[in-house]
Amino acid sequence: MVKSAPMKKWQFWLGVLISIFFIWLSLRGLKLNEFWNTVQKANFFWLIPGIGVYFIGVWVRAWRWHYLLKPIKEIPTKTMFPITTIGYMGNNIYPARAGEVLRAVILKRKEGVPVSASLATIIVERIFDGVVMLAFIFVNLSELAKLTGSSGFVGNIQQVAVIGTGIFLGALIVFLLAAMFPQFTAKNGLWIIERVTPKRLHTKIISIMNKFLDGLASLRSPFNILMVFLTSVIIWLLETGKYWFVMHAFNFNVSFFALMLMNGIVNLATTIPSAPGYIGTFDAPGIAVLTAYGVDQATAAGYTLTLHVALWLPITLLGAYFMAREGLKWSDSLREETAE
């Protein structure tokens, strides 16, 4: 993963092209002098509580991961927090959310948890995150309907939200069924493996499948499912709290529910392949939502780009610090470890 040269991959260049397109969407018609004037007048003191609230959310993310891993191994949240930040740093600087695999590999190094098992819990995290993001949008559907005339981008979100809901809920149902009926899932998985994969790989693939199913063990309890869902809601409400604090640095005001809608839409958009750091795919929909609410383009752009930097930079720096503290280097053979 990290040893490969992403510059040589067509996926990387596709992401760059998509980011360039979304940057164009973000900046077309923007008067740069008004934009810089807005940024210069901003009260950046408000970023401090915003970043503080965000890191509380990261700690809750680490607790959620600790909770999902409980059936496999009891690992304290204080141990999970640095690994979580390293993973988010990896997501920010490498394409294709490589940080998710990175934190699974580091967890294996430190705690001996199989990569396939921890990746199962990470996928579960992402599914619940997606469900909550779509819930943020659906809670504000009536508000969204009022905005569709102001922005074609925002208007198309309604249809995307419906499609996304089907995808995420479908994935959630599949994972819940796999967790609740592990023997049935393993039996059918074995049938598929024996018929569609080379015989020499059977033992390895079956081992990965079994470890992956172990990673879904936390979903066998309705109480655990409820806990993970409620924790996910808290995480994203805290992140919306950061949106709210950063808003106070600029000369505009929208409701907390409007920022929940913006949070849901921009995070839905960042699932689109892009350059590392979600460049463009975060910014264009964020600006579109705010302008649809009547915020002038220069202010919307200044706020959204500042928010993006405030979301990207602190977690990336902290993740780099923890990675250095753990003595890990990008030249390490992390990619080879993921094959185990």
| Helix (H) or strand (E) segment spanning residue 139 | helix 115-139
| 3-class state of residue 268 by DSSP | helix
Sequence length of the chain is 340
On whether residue 254 sits in a domain, the answer given is yes
| Residue 68 vs residue 16, higher pLDDT | 68
Identify the DSSP state of 7.
G
Mean pLDDT over 282-311 rounds to 92
Predicted local distance difference test score (pLDDT) of residue 246 = 97
Question: Residue 10: inside a domain, yes or no?
Answer: no
> pLDDT tier at 6 (50, 70, 90 boundaries)?
very low
**Highest mean pLDDT out of 168-177, 179-188, 210-219, 247-256:** 247-256
Q: What is the mean pLDDT of residues 84-112?
A: 88
pLDDT recorded at residue 335: 54
pLDDT tens profile 156-181 = 666 666 677 778 888 888 888 888 88
- In a domain, residue 65? The reply is yes
Structural tokens at position 188: 């059918």
- In this predicted structure, the answer to whether residue 301 has a pLDDT above a threshold of 90 is yes
Q: What is the mean pLDDT of the chain?
A: 85
Dihedral, 316, 319, 320, 323 alpha carbons, nearest 10: -160
Distance separating alpha carbons of residues 282 and 292, to the nearest angstrom = 16
Question: How large is the average pLDDT for residues 139-145?
Answer: 75
Tell me the residue range of the domain where 153 lies: 45-338
232 pLDDT above the threshold of 90: yes
| Terminal-residue alpha carbon distance, the chain | 14
Asked whether residue 31 is assigned to any structural domain, the reply reads no
From the list 40, 33, 35, 45, the residue with the least C-alpha distance to 249 is: 45
State mean pLDDT over 182-203. Answer: 87
Q: Would 199 be classed as within a structural domain?
A: yes
Residue 117 lies in a domain: yes
pTM for the structure as a whole: 0.86
Report the distance separating Cα 180 and Cα 165, nearest Å.
22
Give CA angle at 183 (177, 189), nearest 5°: 80
Q: What's the confidence (pLDDT) of residue 276?
A: 81
SS3 101: helix
- Is 170 within a domain? yes
Q: Which pLDDT score, from 0 to 100, does residue 334 have?
A: 58
Q: Counting runs of H as helices and runs of E as strands, what totals does the chain give? A: 15, 0
Distance CA 70, CA 61 (A): 14
Domains identified in the chain, total number: 1
Residue 219 has pLDDT above 70, yes or no: yes
The torsion angle over the Cα atoms of residues 293, 157, 143 and 286, rounded to 10 degrees, is -30
Spatial CA neighbour of 3 closest among 118, 85, 94? 94
Task: Answer whether residue 101 is part of any domain.
Answer: yes
pLDDT at position 277: 84
Give one DSSP letter per residue of 200-216, joined into a string: GGHHHHHHHHHHHHHTT
